[in-house]
């Protein structure tokens, strides 16, 4: 006799609801892509639509008209993001380990010192003068070092995670003759993979989306990151769109579609990076946000 399997209705409704929610989360990205390939005149007349009447690749042709410039800016952004993220994670991890170590003197004062930086800023002028004095102009270091001074929130996230680990790990390592450098990188770092993956994503997003350092510190066009190059292209397109066209001119600059095209062009690397880190993301964020 064949046994009839009962259908778990709550589970069915749960997965249907989860699928609908996932589709809604993807909807903005799909809309951005569809707008980026929509004819500009239709956008002006009808607004945004998931199913445009006429497609056009003019926005992408405009963005990639100088393919060598886009390719070079992509290389700059990838280099800055990779080097800056790696260095920032190492510095943050070392600071977090130090502040989680109960043997460190004046640990409370150091924690307060870093906490103050979350509340107050030195201001733009001192920041710029310090960068000038350090020679952080017109070089790749200008895009890396000013953002390398780790975010205090990320540091406290890692510190709280480390404090939740058993203190006996450190004490037994001391007894076996290990120093703090070995303890930090051979014992604590492997155990802190979830929270380190979380701050890696934070730092990578910050470096990848940064264009402010390029505006303030870089004049060499060969060192412009992708975000700044696309920002300049989009600004030029918007400026052209505000110029009244003559009776013999029918060209409409793709101002609106170019905005969405820049979103699609810049979001790619982060979309590929997130799936590798997402399984650690929530775990690291939740555990590191509360002191164990």
Interval 146-182: pLDDT, tens:
887 667 888 888 888 888 888 888 888 888 888 888 8
Q: Note whether 31 and 50 are within 8 A (CB).
A: yes
Is 287's pLDDT higher than 60? no
Residue 29 exposed, middle or buried by CB count within 10 Å (0-12, 13-18, 19+): middle
pLDDT-derived band at 278 (thresholds 50, 70, 90) equals: low
pLDDT of residue 34: 86
Alpha carbons 48 and 257: distance in angstroms, whole number: 10
Angstrom distance (rounded) from CA 33 to CA 55: 11
Interval 261-286 mean pLDDT:
67
> Is residue 29 predicted with pLDDT exceeding 70?
yes
pLDDT reported for residue 88: 92
Domain assignment present for 177: yes
Residue environment code for 219-230, b if the CB has 16+ CB neighbours within 10 A, otherwise e:
eeeebbbbbbbb
Report the alpha-carbon distance of residue 166 to residue 1 in Å, rounded: 56
Q: Is residue 271 a part of any domain in this protein?
A: yes
Average pLDDT over residues 72-98: 91
pLDDT surpasses 90 at 80: yes
The pLDDT score that the predictor gives to residue 250 is: 57
Mean pLDDT for 36-65 is 79
Question: Do 288 and 162 form a contact (C-beta atoms < 8 A)?
Answer: no
Within-domain flag for 266? yes
pLDDT at 1 over 80: no
Among 77-81, 256-260, 273-277, whose mean pLDDT is lowest?
Answer: 273-277
The whole domain housing 89 covers 65-289
> Is 148 a domain residue?
yes
251 occurs within a structural domain: yes
pLDDT bin (cut points 50, 70, 90) of residue 84 is very high
- In Å, what is the CA distance from 89 to each residue of 83, 160, 214? 10, 15, 22
Average pLDDT of the chain to the nearest whole number: 80
Residue 86: the pLDDT is 92
Place of tokens 């390719």: 71
pLDDT of residue 79: 92
Least confident of 75-79, 136-140, 190-194, 264-268: 264-268
> 209, 249, 244: which is closest to 230 by C-alpha?
209
The stretch 171-195 carries a mean pLDDT of 85
The CATH number of the domain holding residue 271 is 1.10.3720.10
What pLDDT score does 266 carry?
A: 80
* 262 lies in some domain: yes
- Total-model pTM: 0.78
Instruction: Tell me whether residue 163 is in a domain.
Output: yes
- Predicted confidence (pLDDT) per residue in 201-257, tens digit: 889 888 988 888 999 899 888 889 988 888 887 777 777 667 665 544 555 667 777
**Does residue 175 form part of some domain?**
yes
Q: Which of 3-12, 130-139, 183-192, 263-272 is least confident?
A: 3-12
- Between CA 229 and CA 68 the distance in angstroms is 12
Domain count, the chain: 1
């Amino acid at each position: 006799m064949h046994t009839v399997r009962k259908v778990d209705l709550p589970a069915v409704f749960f997965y249907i609801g989860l699928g609908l929610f996932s589709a809604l989360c993807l909807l903005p990205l799909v809309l951005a892509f569809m707008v980026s390939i929509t004819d500009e005149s239709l956008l002006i007349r009808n607004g945004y639509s998931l199913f445009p009447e006429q497609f056009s690749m003019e926005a992408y042709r405009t963005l990639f008209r100088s393919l060598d410039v886009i390719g070079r800016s992509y290389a700059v952004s990838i280099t800055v993001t990779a080097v800056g993220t790696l260095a920032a994670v190492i510095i943050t991890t070392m600071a977090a380990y130090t502040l989680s170590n109960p043997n460190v003197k004046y640990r409370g004062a150091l924690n307060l010192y870093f906490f103050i930086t979350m509340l107050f800023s030195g201001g733009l002028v001192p920041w710029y003068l310090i960068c000038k004095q350090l020679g952080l102009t017109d070089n790749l270091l200008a895009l890396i070092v000013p953002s390398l001074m780790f975010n205090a929130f990320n540091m406290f996230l890692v510190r709280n995670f480390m404090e939740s680990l058993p203190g006996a790990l450190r004490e037994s390592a001391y007894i076996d003759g290990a120093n703090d450098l070995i303890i930090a990188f051979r014992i604590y770092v492997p155990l802190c993979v979830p929270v380190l993956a979380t701050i890696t994503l934070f730092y990578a997003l910050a470096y990848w989306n940064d264009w402010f350092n390029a505006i303030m510190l870089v004049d060499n066009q060969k060192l412009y990151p992708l975000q700044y190059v696309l920002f300049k292209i989009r600004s030029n397109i918007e400026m052209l769109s505000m110029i009244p066209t003559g009776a013999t001119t029918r060209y409409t600059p793709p101002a609106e579609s170019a905005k969405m095209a820049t979103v699609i062009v810049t979001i790619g690397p982060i979309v590929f990076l997130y799936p590798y880190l997402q399984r650690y993301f929530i775990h690291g964020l939740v555990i590191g946000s509360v002191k164990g």
